[in-house]
Structure 1
Amino acid sequence: MPDSLPPQPTLSDGVVVLRPWRDDDIAEAIAGHDEEIAHWFGFPVVQPSYEQHRAAVEDWRRWYAEGRSRVSFVVEHDGRLVGSVEVQDRGNRTARLSWVLYSGHRGQGFATRAVRLLIGYALDELDMQRVEAEVEPGNERSLRVATRAGMHREGVKRVAPGTGDRPETTEYVVLARLASDPPLSDPTGFRTLLNSFLPRKRAIAQMLLRDPEDRVLLCELTYKRDWDLPGGVVEVGESPQLAAVREVEEELGLKLPIGPLVLTDWLPPWGGWEDALCLVFDGGVHAPDVLHDVVKQEREIRSARFCTVEEVRDRATDFTARRVEAALRNLSADPGGTRPYTESGR
């Protein structure tokens, strides 16, 4: 850091202006504070006093002069104060961003423009490699601002109750942009941004193995009481069909050919799990003595056996039993009776 810093700059994209705080901004900023700001920032009062806000402005000036550990800008549009933005140095060339729009100025795109300018300032002028923000999942306005400004959603950070901005806060969505990220004007950059926040649904691939008596191979699992078809979660970038083959080999030590998809079953949220798609593939008909070749993965599989439909109902959850029965119907000789898609087996 040089001995003398340049004056805090003024930034603009032609619509909004980011500039340093002036003393005559304080009264207008206080008037713009409302219940929404107090709610998301966890402020004890809706509007700070003039002395409190003036002290904050003086702190921002001091922090800038002492090494730019925190830099705060007011946001202007057409000469009017519409909000403020701030960047904090978190060490390791990482900066934390925050922003606020004052009452009467939301929903016009000012925050997105201001955050884009602030990201550029942090990466270019402050020489940061990463800029990040933490937003509560329910703060949909700020989540939209961050993603439209080019910040990728990276995941959810859990916090202990009472340690966040608000006593009831237990989670924050973490969003970030790196200096190495492609510009949004680049097709790859735009696609990777979209990919970071579009919904992702868990996929489960299972194999329906039968014996000549039309009994179904079920596995007794170590991590739950209920029996289930062999299979498991599809890895990122993995084909569901190959996932079913891999899981059967890992869980049972069986290298078996796999047939076509016989059922797609949507699983609603249940028991702490989020929703998922379960893809059931035809594993073919095998002699009962195929079980002699089973080498169980002891951490997951207690036992495996061929079961009648009645035994499936006794051993499996109701929705697993419905899924098995639906898959069996789809393998029946009557193609008119097939239902290739079910929800919880129905």
Structure 2
Amino acid sequence: MPDQPDTQLSTVSDRVARIHWSADLAERGWQAAVDVVRRDVAAALVDHDRVEAVVPADDDQAQRIATWSGLRREGIQRGVGGDRVVYARLVDDVPVHEPGGFRALLNSFLPRKRAISQMLVRDTSPEPRVLLCQLTYKTDWDLPGGVVEVGESPLLAVAREVDEELGLQIPAGPLLLTDWLPPWGGWDDALCLVFDGGVHEPSLVERIVPQAREIRSAEFCTLDEVDERAADFSARRIRAAMGNLGGGPAYTESGR
């Protein structure tokens, strides 16, 4: 029986090829495998615009081979029999030996973390009160704010969210707190940044125009009311931010 080739290439759509390497090649060591796969990917790109590899999500060596062969990680393909990771290289990708190409390769697989920006808005009442939003998509109340978009400054994101959700133009002040949120209820972990929204008259709520899709209402609440209405980790975060007013940025994990 003739020897099986180290790699196999198949055309999966117009000018798109998929590369697969043998278990025998992987057993020779990842560096030897990288040399072969990198060569064959380059050869395939002569006649194709895209070369991709799909490898099991639990196969660390296969992922290493794909990465250092110059294939950028694109995402997870979920499956009943197990998830797979999709890697690909395009004909016009910057060569890996150039700084921009190497950075793009690293950027494709290094961890990314979701960021959430919130604003701590207080009023002039004798008892400390903060602005809380009653949300349409969950029962817990929370500070105004939201997810930071890709490439967006967290400082600008929180002001944008407050404007979009409440119709209020409040510039974000100093960062009060960075709170790490562990994975929970189907969410990946995240960083929540709480910015100071300053002190305002209680009549501020009369100017609020809630975004109907996300906000039911908004009120200034005492810290006891925060404990009653917010999730426990949100209440801890709010108290930690309140306790750090004027103290410089602080760090907590789930409000602790």
User: What TM-score, normalized by structure 1, do the two folds share?
Assistant: 0.71
What is the RMSD computed on CA atoms of the aligned residues? Answer: 1.5
Change (3 A) 1:294 1:122: same
Matched, 1:342 2:252: yes
Partner of 1:93: 15
Partners of 1:99 and 1:115 within 8 A in 2:
yes
Matched, 1:205 2:117: yes
| Alpha-carbon shift at residue 312 of structure 1 (Å) | 0.3
Partner of 1:155: 75
Post-superposition Cα deviations, 1:18-58, rounded to whole Å, max 9, x if no partner, equal xxxxx443xxxxxxxxxxxxxxxxxxxxxxxxxxxxxxxxx
Partner of 1:119: 41
Matched, 1:326 2:246: no
Match of 2:159 among 245, 248, 252: 245
| Alpha-carbon shift at residue 184 of structure 1 (Å) | 0.8
CA distance in 2, matches of 1:245, 1:276: 19
Partner of 2:137: 223
Alignment-mate amino acid for residue 104 of structure 2: T
Q: Specify the SS of the correspondent of 1:182.
A: coil
Partners of 1:100 and 1:111 within 8 A in 2:
no
Larger RCO, structure (CA 8 Å, separation 6 or more) = 2
Partners of 2:8 and 2:21 within 8 A in 1:
yes
In the TM superposition, structure 1's runs of 4+ consecutive aligned residues that sit over 4 Å from their partners are none
| Alpha-carbon shift at residue 156 of structure 1 (Å) | 1.2
Partner of 2:213: 299
The residue correspondences of 1:256-275 to structure 2 (distance < 5 A) are 256-275=170-189
Post-superposition Cα deviations, 1:140-164, rounded to whole Å, max 9, x if no partner, equal 11000000000011111223x2xxx
| Alpha-carbon shift at residue 100 of structure 1 (Å) | 2.1
Alignment-mate amino acid for residue 232 of structure 1: G
CA distance in 1, matches of 2:75, 2:162: 31
| Alpha-carbon shift at residue 285 of structure 1 (Å) | 0.3
Partners of 2:26 and 2:62 within 8 A in 1:
no
Partners of 1:85 and 1:98 within 8 A in 2:
yes
Alignment-mate amino acid for residue 184 of structure 1: V
Partners of 2:205 and 2:219 within 8 A in 1:
yes
Matched, 1:172 2:84: yes
Partners of 1:153 and 1:196 within 8 A in 2:
yes
Partner of 1:133: 53
CA distance in 2, matches of 1:344, 1:307: 21
Q: Percent identity?
A: 57
CA distance in 2, matches of 1:101, 1:158: 23
CA distance in 2, matches of 1:321, 1:156: 34
Matched, 1:146 2:49: no
Partner of 1:189: 101
Q: How many residues align structurally?
A: 254
Q: Which has the greater radius of gyration?
A: 1
Partners of 1:326 and 1:339 within 8 A in 2:
no
